[in-house]
Copies of this chain bind each other. A is one copy, B any other.
Amino acid sequence: MEMVAAAATKDAKRNGGTPEWRVTVPEGASVTVEHERCLAARAWGWLVSCVVALGAKVSGSGKRLWKIGADDPRRAVHGLKVGLALSLVSVFYYTRPLYEGVGGNAMWAIMTVVVVFEYTVGGCVYKGFNRAAATVSAGAIALGVHWVAVHAGGELEPFIRSGSVFLLASIATFSRFIPTVKARFDYGVTIFILTYSLVAVSGYRVEALLVMAQSRVCTIAIGIFMCLAVCVLVCPVWAGQELHRLTARNMDKLAGAVEACVKDYFADQPADGKQPPSDKAEGYKCVLNSKASEDSQANLARWEPAHGRFGFRHPYEQYKSVGAAMRHCAYCVEALSGCARSEIQAPHHIKQRLAGGCASVAARCALALREASSSVAAMKTSWALDLAVAEMNTAVQELQSDLRSLPSKLVEEESPAAVLDAVQLFTVTSLLIEVSTRIESVVDAVDTLASLAGFRSSDVEKDEASETETKVKQPAASDPDSYEPEKKHIEQV
Decide: A114 and B190 in contact? CB cutoff 8 A: yes
Smallest beta-carbon distance A235→chain B, Å? 14
* Bound CA–CA A96/B194 (angstroms): 22
Smallest beta-carbon distance A341→chain B, Å? 10
Which residues of A, 62-107, contact B by the 8 Å Cβ criterion? 64-65, 68-69, 75-76, 78-80, 82-84, 86-87, 90-91, 93-94, 99, 104, 107
* Bound CA–CA A87/B93 (angstroms): 33
A383 contacts chain B at the CB level, 8 A cutoff: no
Chain B, residue nearest A110 (CB): B197
Choose from B76, B93, B197, B417 the contact partner of A204 (Cβ within 8 Å): B93
A471 contacts chain B at the CB level, 8 A cutoff: no
Contacts of A174 in B (CB 8 A): 65, 68-69, 75-76, 78-79
Which residues of A, 390-408, contact B by the 8 Å Cβ criterion? 403-405, 407-408
Decide: B170 and A110 in contact? CB cutoff 8 A: no
Q: Mask for A324-360, Cβ within 8 A of B = 1, else 0?
A: 0000100110111011001000000000000000000
A59 contacts chain B at the CB level, 8 A cutoff: no
A162 contacts chain B at the CB level, 8 A cutoff: yes
CB within 8 Å for A83 and B173 given contacts A107-B198, A158-B94: yes
Decide: A339 and B197 in contact? CB cutoff 8 A: no
A476 contacts chain B at the CB level, 8 A cutoff: no
* Bound CA–CA A177/B404 (angstroms): 53
Contacts of A148 in B (CB 8 A): none
Choose from B335, B404, B420 the contact partner of A423 (Cβ within 8 Å): B404
CB within 8 Å for A201 and B162 given contacts A177-B68, A331-B334, A334-B332: no
Contacts of A403 in B (CB 8 A): 423
Chain B, residue nearest A404 (CB): B420
Contacts of A423 in B (CB 8 A): 403-404, 407, 426, 430
8 A-B pairs, CB-CB below 8 angstroms? Answer: A82-B169, A83-B165, A86-B193, A87-B166, A93-B202, A107-B201, A331-B334, A335-B335
Q: Sorted from nearest, which 5 A-B pairs have the closest CB atoms?
A: A335-B335, A407-B419, A79-B174, A83-B170, A83-B166
Further contacts, 10 of them, CB under 8 A, given A91-B162, A115-B190: A83-B166, A86-B197, A107-B202, A114-B190, A114-B193, A115-B194, A342-B437, A407-B416, A408-B419, A427-B431
